[in-house]
Amino acid sequence: MKRLFTLALVLFIALAGFAQVDSTKKDQPDTIKVGGMIIIRNHDGKNDDDNDNKDKNVNIGRRKYDKTSNVSTNWWIMDIGISNYNDKSNYTTALASGFIGAGVNEESMKLKTFKSRNINLWFFMQKLNVVKHVVNLKYGLGLELNNYFFKDEQIHLQKNPTKIFLDASYKDVDKNKLAADYLTVPLMLNFNFTPGRGKGFGFSAGVSGGLLYSARQKIKDGGHKNKVHDDFDLNKWKVSYIGELLLGPVKLYGSYATKSMWEKGLDQTPYTVGFRFANW
């Protein structure tokens, strides 16, 4: 119903525009552009005052975007990949400080590699021409969603104060993960070796800045789910080196943070890698 209403409204606007056309230019087509739609009414050049509906036709089509524009926008980009971290923690020091409990070590903090997912949803990305559409500035805004699944299901994150320890009651749970989500702004220098092509070849490199807006530990045991929301002393800001590789229809992305994801206690530097679904 909404689509029919929208189409009717567009046609009404189009007809209203046609009614105001200068009669001295009947041999010229009338054109109206509405967003991404273009409406054209053609004339036969004859005097048809007695029958205005003869020999006229209306064409409705989509507007062609100018590939040579200095600024192009790609809306709603999705990344699907894996999340992990490079663990360089000193567990002896972390134990002495009380940040972790007995038995927590590098082995127990390892992740399930292919189950620990990274999903990014970019609201938009823009590309600004710098040098002949070969060198471009690329930037955007979106959400980074990271899910860290622990191999040792007994990992328990306590809040206020934060402490990571082994909980025997978690031993047989079906799922144990830490989720960390960021509102992120990427900034990259893009090199496009095939300008003018939608599925070209090139690469991008730069940095991103992310603000932690949600963190939680989720436990699933049978049909029961338990979520504990807290920042768990994760760093509020995440700055990462980022890059992407454009291989025609295949687009790959990756990121590596500049420092640990924790404010204290552990030294675990997060990274991601995966596939990007975008127009360019």
> CA-to-CA distance for 267 and 139, rounded, in angstroms?
29
> CA-to-CA distance for 77 and 86, rounded, in angstroms?
27
- So what's the pLDDT on residue 43? 56
- So what's the pLDDT on residue 134? 95
3-class state of residue 95 by DSSP = helix
Torsion of CA 199, 201, 202, 207, to 10 degrees: 30
Stretches where the chain sits below pLDDT 70 are 1-68
How many Å from the N-terminal Cα to the C-terminal Cα in the chain? Answer: 34
The per-type count for the chain, helices as H runs and strands as E runs, is 2, 14
> CA-to-CA distance for 123 and 129, rounded, in angstroms?
20
Give the H/E segment covering residue 97.
helix 91-97
> CA-to-CA distance for 280 and 150, rounded, in angstroms?
35
CA distances, 173 to each of 4, 177, 205 (Å): 51, 11, 40
Structure tokens at 141: 């805004």
CA distances, 263 to each of 75, 178, 197, 232, 267 (Å): 34, 16, 44, 9, 9
- Are 109 and 155 in contact by the 8 Å Cβ rule? The answer is yes
Domains (range + CATH), the chain: 2-62 (no CATH), 71-277 (2.40.128)
**DSSP secondary structure letter of residue 266:** -
Strands (E), 110-260: 117-131, 135-149, 155-158, 163-166, 175-192, 201-221, 224-229, 237-247, 250-257
- Are 239 and 260 in contact by the 8 Å Cβ rule? The answer is no
CA distances, 135 to each of 29, 38, 64, 167, 205 (Å): 39, 32, 23, 53, 12
> CA-to-CA distance for 187 and 125, rounded, in angstroms?
10
- So what's the pLDDT on residue 235? 98
> CA-to-CA distance for 56 and 156, rounded, in angstroms?
74
What is the tens place of the pLDDT at every residue in 54-73? Answer: 455 666 655 444 456 899 99
- Are 242 and 207 in contact by the 8 Å Cβ rule? The answer is yes
Place of tokens 């949803």: 121
> CA-to-CA distance for 99 and 157, rounded, in angstroms?
10
- Are 98 and 159 in contact by the 8 Å Cβ rule? The answer is no
- So what's the pLDDT on residue 2? 47
